[in-house]
């Protein structure tokens, strides 16, 4: 069971990393295209800047889940190194639980925001799923599509925080626990 969980964890990390790389590439492509069209051809697309911003927002929210899982988020490393190993473990798990709570807030209020978000981006046409397939919609893209990343990211943050907590508990029990980012301190039980 543990091996299956580790393989799922690695697969999710690879998929999220690839998706973040694609979003970063899209940001660069949209920006370069917009700049070339604006200054060379004097005909900038109305959607270029919006897609760059939306790609950036989605990239940041997806990268949040990756940083939580890798424990690369803001941490009090100076305090961890001064505490005994089990004390540092408890503080680190407390912060992981706080981050899990943040993920729950993102899910709850993100779903509410998506459900109640009005308005449309006048620059964007969009595709929708209707009658078992994608259909091109020649009117404006609803703004709720842009903020749909909030509950998605909240779910991923919750999963990452739980995975981090479980991994740390297993490592502490096995005697192989190390503080996040710590490579030099020897673990003592």
Q: Are 65 and 9 in contact (CB under 8 A)?
A: no
Q: Are 124 and 140 in contact (CB under 8 A)?
A: yes
pLDDT digits (tens, 9 = 90+) for 149-159: 999 999 999 99
**Prediction pTM value:** 0.78
Q: Tally Cβ neighbours within 10 Å of residue 18.
A: 10
pLDDT digits (tens, 9 = 90+) for 25-60: 999 999 999 999 999 998 888 778 888 988 999 999
Q: Tally Cβ neighbours within 10 Å of residue 185.
A: 12
Query: Which of the residues in the chain have pLDDT under 50?
Result: 183-189
pLDDT of residue 26: 93
The DSSP string of 71-112 is T-SS--HHHHHHS-HHHHHHHHHHHHHHHHHHHHHHHHHHHH
Residues 6 or more apart whose CB falls under 8 angstroms from that of 62 comprise 16, 19, 20, 23, 149, 153, 156
pLDDT of residue 89: 84
């Amino acid at each position: 069971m543990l091996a299956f969980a580790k393989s799922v964890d690695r697969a999710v990390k690879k998929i999220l990393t690839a998706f973040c790389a694609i979003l970063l590439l899209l940001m660069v492509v949209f920006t370069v295209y917009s700049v070339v069209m604006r200054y060379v051809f004097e005909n900038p697309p109305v959607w270029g800047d919006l897609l760059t911003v939306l790609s950036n927002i989605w990239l940041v929210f997806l990268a949040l889940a990756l940083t939580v899982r890798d424990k690369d988020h803001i941490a009090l490393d100076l305090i961890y190194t001064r505490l005994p190993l089990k004390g540092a473990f408890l503080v680190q798990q407390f912060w992981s639980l706080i981050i899990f709570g943040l993920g729950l807030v993102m899910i709850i209020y993100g779903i509410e925001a998506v459900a109640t978000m009005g308005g449309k981006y006048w620059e964007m046409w969009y595709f929708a799923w209707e009658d078992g397939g994608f259909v091109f919609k020649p009117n404006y893209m609803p703004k709720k599509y842009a903020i749909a990343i909030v509950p998605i990211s909240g779910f991923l943050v919750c999963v990452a925080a739980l995975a981090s907590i479980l991994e740390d508990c297993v490592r502490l029990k096995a005697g192989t626990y190390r503080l996040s980012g710590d490579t030099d301190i020897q673990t003592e039980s």
